[in-house]
Amino acid sequence: MWSGKKVTNMFFWNLMIKKDDIILSFIERVRKLIYATDRQIQKVKREMAKRPLEGVGKDLYLLLNAPSLKTQDISVLKGKTMMFVNRGFMHPLYKELQPQYHVFVDSKMLKGIWPISWLDKIWEISPNTTIILPISWYTNPLFRSYRNNKNIYWLNYSLPFYNLGVSGSCFSFAIQQEFKKVYFTGFDATGIGHEMIKTADSHFYGNDKELENKPTTQFVIDLLMHSRHLHDLNRLAIWCQKKGYKFINITNGGLLDMFPRENILPVSYTHLRAHETDSYL
């Protein structure tokens, strides 16, 4: 039986979460209004809309970068429609799998922390991979030489939830392209914990060097963002159920309990060797 104090505390924190929902929704609406006045962005948005839908009748396998990916044999996905993200091209099976899609949305690429040359590195390994980038990056001078590249899809994010990170852009693209089902793995949602206590890797390839030695002031921000991330994942799961979108968690373990789970990947405890990824770091 809950006491009155517990009920009051729950109401307070739910109110705080709702307040953040309203603020973030307002900010995103303002951002969309700004983009709506940008002729270049509107032009490329229309061009992307003219491309034929690629997911009708197909399943999509989304591979994120959590350490649990080391425990799964993803070679069985060869020949399936696959999507990787961020440093996923460092996976030793990337060249063999030749994924159809690779997604970047992190502003580290705009800041020069992640080199834009990674795009060319991906095409060197997997020439037919379509790289998905935020449509807002199209006008950035850094991407001038890539604007007419047919192997780039400029994504207009369309989900009503704004704290989903790179996974949100993957899900948004999958819905827009009308994929039948989305199976995702490597989504542990525990990276922030590993970063804080430094007892394990935060990704299958190790840890992001640029995130080492964070001050506690940065962890305050990161923890708030992680809280928002979990909140929006729960909202997304409810929304998908109402809309009939099929997102299925095939991660080996992890924190996420809001999506239905299936075990379709063989478990393998042969860990990736460090030297297999060091050359890209």
pLDDT digits (tens, 9 = 90+) for 186-195: 998 887 887 7
Query: Is 279's pLDDT higher than 50?
Result: no
For Cα atoms 70, 72, 77, give the angle at the middle one, nearest 5 degrees: 120
Q: How far is 109 from 7, CA to CA, in rounded Å?
A: 44
Contact indicator for 84, 101 with CB cutoff of 8 Å: yes
What is the C-alpha to C-alpha distance for residues 6 and 240, in angstroms, rounded to an integer?
31
Mean pLDDT across the stretch 229-238? 96
Question: Which of 127-136, 160-169, 193-202, 239-248 is predicted with the least confidence, judged by mean pLDDT?
Answer: 193-202
pTM of the model: 0.89
Range 11-25 average pLDDT: 87
- The whole-number pLDDT of residue 7 equals 64
pLDDT value of position 6: 66
pLDDT at 185 over 70: yes
* pLDDT of res. 186: 94
152-155 β-sheet, strand order? 152-155, 130-134, 101-103, 82-85, 59-63, 181-185, 246-249
The predicted-structure confidence for 49-83, as pLDDT tens digits, reads as follows 999 999 999 999 999 999 999 999 999 999 999 99
Angle 174-119-226 from CA coordinates, rounded to 5°: 55
